[in-house]
Structure 1
């Protein structure tokens, strides 16, 4: 049995990094924080807890009614959010990393292959919808299974092996990486409920801490998975 870090350990590592340079984290997540606060006022009938079973890239994105209907705004936000998550992973791997937090929001807009992220998102949603049409519970299991596809794409591209992969391969690799880890991931998402509610009842003020904390902890979960399963990626 692999010696994975516990939820407490994953969260503690993120807290240490955030306390070390909270200003850097706030600038990195500033756009996401502002959009999430706007979303609270836009739709008081929905809380962030409703996004529990979604992967990091749709953690806040999915609850935006304007985005969930699709369109150019949704595409813009998907690429922006993933750029932030990817930079967070880099930062966790190198706590002394020197980077421009605001510019990091637009990293993948400058990448000619930015559309790859959109294709992976569409494929994931398609597969998940098919599973949900069969039964709700298997659909939720697949949401967890496919949750690491974007991070896998990032690492594969960084290694220069992107040409060897089809878009569906990232989902397959995520499923392999999450084998035996879906429950751990699901419980990790459940552990954020209190933080989501805090962000909601404070009209978004608490999200200044909550969003970087949650998103970076999810990135740290992936980092731990890959370190324990180097043969998969």
Structure 2
């Protein structure tokens, strides 16, 4: 069994991979950066013109939903390639096309299904209190990576959509606080990215997301019996 690594170790491993490869990492996450910017601009426009937004509330919700699903697929495509990259630092890949790899997967709808089910479950838990909802969102945080690994092994169809959520919950047992604190450790970087008018996100998003992928990698390595 491999011991769980500290936050500093997880971050240092990512920095080592990124050293000399920042351009590739930025290109890998380029489209998610663009989508996040466009989504923020769209929401700002809706807030500035509420009357116009209210007149087209149905179409606005449909557009937001479609953008959300596209953002999920592009973001996860980049995250999945990042996980491969962390596992094999010398991996050769095309960062731009890697951002769309899930669109080539005939089972891409399963990702959307997993997202919808987990969102409903977190919402229901949040109806009790805010804290249970946060805890469950932490428990379910690894479900996409679990799907990726099982899909790579050709086992994805052997599991129902809820199974990925259940496996994530098992994997995160005893590690939710570690994940929560790891996320909190980036608050300073996010503040810095904001005060640089968003320019800092160009470097922060790859660094942050790859660190989260590295957290999963270490978690699976130390609990191989779960996945």
Question: 1:20 maps to what in 2?
Answer: 20
* Aligned with residue 104 of structure 1, among 85, 98, 102: 98
Moved more, 157-166 or 4-13: 157-166
Query: By percentage of residues, which structure has more helix?
Result: 2
**1:71 aligns to 2:65 (yes or no):** yes
- Whether contact under 8 Å (1:67, 1:74) holds in the other structure is no
Question: 2:7 maps to what in 1?
Answer: 7
Q: Does the C-alpha gap of structure 1 residues 4 and 87 become closer, same or farther in structure 2, counting only changes over 3 Å?
A: same
Question: 1:137 maps to what in 2?
Answer: 131
**1:29 aligns to 2:23 (yes or no):** no
Moved more, 16-25 or 128-137: 16-25
Task: Name the TM-score, length of structure 2 as normaliser.
Answer: 0.88
Shift of 1:20: 2.7
Q: Does the C-alpha gap of structure 1 residues 41 and 108 become closer, same or farther in structure 2, counting only changes over 3 Å?
A: closer
Mapped partners of 1:173, 1:165: distance in 2: 10
Shift of 1:38: 4.6
Deviations 1:164-222 (A, max 9, x none): 21110000000000000000000001111111111111111111110000000000000
Question: 1:218 maps to what in 2?
Answer: 212
Structure 1 residue ranges without an equivalent (≥5)? 45-65
Mapped partners of 1:137, 1:69: distance in 2: 31
Mapped partners of 2:61, 2:137: distance in 1: 19
Task: Name the TM-score, length of structure 1 as normaliser.
Answer: 0.86
Q: Name the count of aligned residue pairs.
A: 212
Mapped partners of 1:71, 1:210: distance in 2: 26
**1:86 aligns to 2:56 (yes or no):** no
- Whether contact under 8 Å (1:151, 1:222) holds in the other structure is yes
Deviations 1:72-108 (A, max 9, x none): 2221111111111101100000101111000011101
- Whether contact under 8 Å (1:128, 1:139) holds in the other structure is yes
* Aligned with residue 179 of structure 2, among 176, 180, 185: 185
Q: Which has the larger radius of gyration?
A: 2
**1:173 aligns to 2:187 (yes or no):** no
Structure 2 residue ranges without an equivalent (≥5)? 45-59
Shift of 1:37: 4.1
Shift of 1:18: 1.0
